[in-house]
Structure 1
Amino acid sequence: MTDATSPPAAPPAPDLASVVRSKEYLSALVLAALLGIPISVVAYGFLALTGWLQTYLFDDLPSGLFDGDTPAWWPVPWLALCGLLVALTISRLPGTAGHSPSLGFQTGTGPAAGRDLPGIIIAALATLGLGAVLGPEAPLIAIGGGLGALAVRLVKRDAPPMAVTIMASAGSFAAVSTLLGSPLLGAFLIMEAAGIAGATLSLVALPGLLASGIGALVFVGMNAWTGLGTFSLALPTVPPGLPPTIASLLWAVPVGILGAVLGWAIRWVALTVRPHVHRNRVPVTVVLGVLIGLCSTAFQVTTGQSFTRVLFSGQDALPELVANAAGYSLDVVLLLGLFKGIAYGLSLSAFRGGPVFPAMFIGAALGIAVSGLPGMELAAAIGTGIGAMCCAMLRLPLTSVLLATLLMGTDGLTITPQVVVAVVVSFVVTTVLPTPGPPQPAGSHDPAGAHRSAGAG
């Protein structure tokens, strides 16, 4: 006789071999490959439109209006408009445009409902195109997952939940297939964030990887057709990676601590401001947009360098930052990290986007700042900085190691030991530090939680 108070037994794990041999699963693989094509085209169009908005509003338009350099105040009104559009989208359209990125990178909350997709797209376009400091990866994952789930439900209204999950995952994989430089990185990011393992991981990953590979081919083809680019993060020029030394391994420890503390401070800003956003979303979000714009203005005024280094996700600015790392003075790098970090925290509190690229950019700035330490060479400093910051913000240690090492190319393999040390230290310190922001009541949850969409960030 069993104990009536004992918890119910967990459902048995699916038999991987029998599932993979089934007609239904083989059909799912074919459907995943087919879905990868249109979803990748949609993702490419989204990134192209975002890039066009950024170039037109912050380069072409001011070049036609002003003689000489763009005035430092130029981003302020656009960030105010950004706040207004995002706030109205969140408050007026279904689904609150996805979840708040201040809660961290999330992909395990289920695919976005079809009615939520317009809000996710509009809020993300406003956030990314008008200068807030967030990246495109989370909205793309939400859009791809939502379209994948929608396609399954259109084909079969009463589709089983596992089929919906598999196709939603395949759509997400396809949407970010080349964004991080490799289909493998995007897939690993989604899988580690979702927290699935065992046979379920294999069943979900196979269609996703297939869709991701198809998506990468589509991005290459779209670039050949349009000439707009592949929108893939790459570092054409990186400092040479030298074999690890005792000094560089030891310096990785304080870099990991600094990354964790800096990430904690950024999250503290986001989570402290967030309750005020919920109470008065439209006016507060507009004010936050103005403050983000003023951060970029202050950077241009104090350093003489363009405000665009502070704005946006940092995806396009990161290659230049790394390539010219030796030419930056310490005070400029510190001011860049300071203003970018403040703008990042404010963006996390109210806007919609992903946390990955700003974390990588700030981590690279941190690495450049510490590269002058005795025995700390530049490549290891940049790699450990990126790894430590990504781990502090994402709390995904394995993905953080891959982001820092694969991004550096063959030199990344050389600096892997230092990156691993920095990421482990950052993860431990981040876990030990108290939760940033005001204390949350027991059982409290995100007000948008009832409508939250996977990865909508």
Structure 2
Amino acid sequence: MTAASGEPARTAGASAGAAGADSAPGADSAPAVRQQLMLAIPAVVVGVVSALVLFALDEVAELLEGVIWHQLPAATGLDPSNGFFIFTVLTLTGVAVGLVVWLLPGHGGRDSATTELIAPPLPLKSLPTLALVAVLALAGGVSLGPENPIIAINAGLLAAVIGRLFKRVPTQLTVMMAAAGTVGALFGTPVAAALVLTGIVAAFPRGGALWDRLFLPLASAGAGSVTMALLAHPTFELPLPAYDTVAPIDLLSGAVIASAGAVFGVLCVALFRVLHRFYHGFGNPLLYIGLGGVTLGLLGALGGEITLFKGLAQMGELITNAGSYSGWQLLSIFGIKLLALAVAGASGFRGGHIFPAVFLGVAFGMYANVLVPSVPLTLAVGAGVLGLVLAISRDGWIALFVATLVTGSVVVLPLLCLAILPAWLIVSRAPEMVVAVVPDRARPSWPWRRPPA
């Protein structure tokens, strides 16, 4: 997934995970069966709680979204698709998030632009405001997903609780289990969590076989997935045409679309890094997040409701109404959403990049299908998702998994495994969608005063 704030943060995240593995009983060799079974109890608890917290945060965000985008317009006679209404809501969302980050205790936790998906736990005092700014962004239509904030919330909360109830469980291991449980709940399957963590735990020189090290995170991911399935039915699969037969030309088509998507993803990352320096140059959160809200409002007014929010429901809307979009409309939706993702991530909003990257991939794949109708829509969408998610997340496993999940086709998977090879060559030496952590500075007394250099 998205890396941390440059190499130092990546190292911190990896060392945190490594410490978790090495601190667990039996780190130098395969852990005993009894140890695994005993630790499976807190692992399942972590998974269940992670899913419950995710469900609660989603429900609150959807409730607030309904008030802002449905009840308020119905009561006032306003049109929620009107450009001025969209601009106003996103601007006010930026102001609200900026005030929380500037003034309230905890200051909204870490800036998601500088944080690994799996990072050291936040102190408990940071979690309420992190949850608040995440809900405001999700409900207000900001083009970010919930993955970074909710993993940070679950990791911080469960590290504190498990640290008291199960003192033998290392904090780093709890963080990994919380991340696994949350990812399993987000994607509706523990496979996603296994892919996220495989690259981390495989780098550990000790700790037994790979599956010994994945045992507890997978227990947590499985519990999180089942819990979320009982509460809701999360799905990324789109109603795409069946893809049953592979044509030789599809090998080339998939590789070209995935590579082109990766190029646009790299451009998004480069723009994100430039914009981060620009927005944060204003110094005060109220200024740079508020300005980010204004920019998102202008983009939203230009692109319409389809370009707002994390993109999960919107990509379903795109596919359902595929025949009603021209190539230029799809290209404009793609371009505006790409800009919105770069702005939202750079201007201090808390949120993840994976969900909007999937939307971008769907829109790009649909455009490729309109441009060359002989390319099967399912293959085009899968390859588009593969390239965009790969470039933005820098994680090949997740890119392959999400692309296959979106298409719902196992037949397309071998083609994607080949298409990812040239796409990876494009992104492997490109900049990552992360920035270096800005050192703490004196917090200014007034929003127009910049902190000292």
- Residues 1:447 and 2:451 are matched in the alignment: no
Flag the 1:314–1:421 CA change in 2: closer, same or farther, 3 A: same
Equivalent position to 1:80, from 68, 75, 91: 91
1:217 to 205, 222, 226: 226
The range that moved more, 257-266 or 385-394, is: 257-266
2:298 equivalent to 1:294: yes
Looking at structure 2, the residues matched to 207 and 87 of structure 1 have their Cα atoms a distance apart, in angstroms, of 38
Q: What SS does the corresponding residue of 2:84 show, helix, strand or coil?
A: coil
Q: Quick check: 1:339 aligned with 2:336? A: yes
1:324 is matched with which residue: 313, 321, 325? Answer: 321
Q: Does 1:370 align with 2:365?
A: no
Q: Deviations over 1:119-150 (max 9, x none)?
A: 32112112111111000112121122122211
1:93: how far off?
A: 4.6
Asked if the contact 2:27/2:206 (under 8 Å) is kept, the reply is yes
- 1:302 aligns with none
**Residue 145 of structure 2: aligned partner:** 135
Contact 1:265 1:436 in 2 (8 A): no
The aligned counterpart of 2:127 is 117
Asked if 1:420 is matched to 2:417, the reply is yes
Letter in 1 for 2:62: G
Task: Pick closer, same or farther for the CA change 1:148–1:446 going to 2, 3 Å.
Answer: same
In structure 2, the residue matched to 1:208 is 217
More displaced, 381-390 or 185-194? 185-194
Q: Aligned-pair distance for 1:185?
A: 1.6
Q: What is the percentage of aligned positions where both structures have the same residue?
A: 23
**Aligned in 2, Cα 1:389/1:124: closer, same or farther, shift over 3 Å?**
same
Structure 1 residue matching 2:407: 3-state secondary structure? coil
CA distance 1:199–1:206, shift in 2 (3 Å): farther
SS of the aligned residue for 1:110 comes to coil
Please report how far the alpha carbon of residue 178 of structure 1 lies from its aligned counterpart in structure 2 after TM superposition: 3.0
Aligned to 1:44: 55
What RMSD, in angstroms, separates the aligned Cα atoms of the two structures? 2.9
- Alignment coverage as a number of residue pairs: 413
Matched position secondary structure for 1:107: coil
Contact 1:253 1:425 in 2 (8 A): yes
Q: Distance in 1 between matches of 2:292 and 2:203?
A: 36
- Which TM-score applies when normalising by structure 1? 0.82
Aligned residue identity for 1:177: G
Give the direction of change, closer, same or farther, for the CA distance of 1:436–1:386 in structure 2 (3 Å limit): closer
Cα distance in 2 for partners of 1:237, 1:375 equals 19
Could you tell me how far apart the structure 2 residues matched to 1:268 and 1:333 are?
22
Q: How far has the Cα of 1:192 moved from its partner?
A: 4.0
Using the TM superposition, give the Cα deviation of residue 22 of structure 1 relative to its aligned residue in structure 2, in angstroms: 4.8
* Residue aligning to 1:393: 392
Return the TM-score normalized by structure 2: 0.82
State the shift of 1:91 in Å.
3.4
Report 1:271-282 matches (<5 A). Answer: 271-280=273-282, 281-282=285-286
In 2: Cα distance, 1:84 partner to 1:209 partner: 40
Given that 2:51 and 2:185 are in contact with CA atoms closer than 8 Å, whether structure 1 keeps it comes out as no
| In 2: Cα distance, 1:318 partner to 1:176 partner | 20
Verify: 1:21 aligned to 2:28, yes or no.
no
Gaps of 5+ in 1: 1-9, 223-228, 300-306, 450-457
Q: C-alpha distance in 2, partners of 1:203/1:447? A: 38
Question: How far apart, in 2, do the equivalents of 1:20 and 1:368 lie?
Answer: 51
Please give the alpha-carbon distance, in whole angstroms, between the structure 1 residues aligned to 2:440 and 2:183.
24
**In the alignment, structure 1 residue 149 sits paired with structure 2 residue 159:** yes
Deviation, structure 1 residue 96: 4.8
Aligned-partner Cα distance in 2 for 1:79–1:69: 12
Gap change, CA 1:397 and 1:38, over 3 Å in 2: closer
Match of 2:288 among 264, 284, 289: 284
Deviates more, 1:334-343 or 1:370-379: 370-379
The answer (yes or no) to whether the contact 2:87–2:297 under 8 Å persists in 1 is yes
- Residue 265 of structure 2 corresponds to 263
AA aligned to 2:120 is G
Matched-pair contact (CA < 8 Å) for 1:147–1:168: no
SS in 2 for 1:26: helix
Which segment is superposed worse, 201-210 or 358-367? 201-210
- Letter of the 1:362 counterpart: L
1:402, distance to aligned residue in structure 2 (A): 0.9
Contact 2:44 2:219 in 1 (8 A): yes
- Equivalent in the alignment of 1:452: none
In structure 2, distance between residues paired with 1:168 and 1:267: 27
Alignment match, 1:170: 177
Deviations 1:185-236 (CA, angstroms, capped at 9, x unpaired): 24423544777556555455322222222223322333xxxxxx43x13335
State the alpha-carbon separation in 2 of the partners of residues 20 and 69 from structure 1.
58
Is residue 144–residue 344 contact of structure 2 (8 Å, CA) maintained in 1?
A: yes
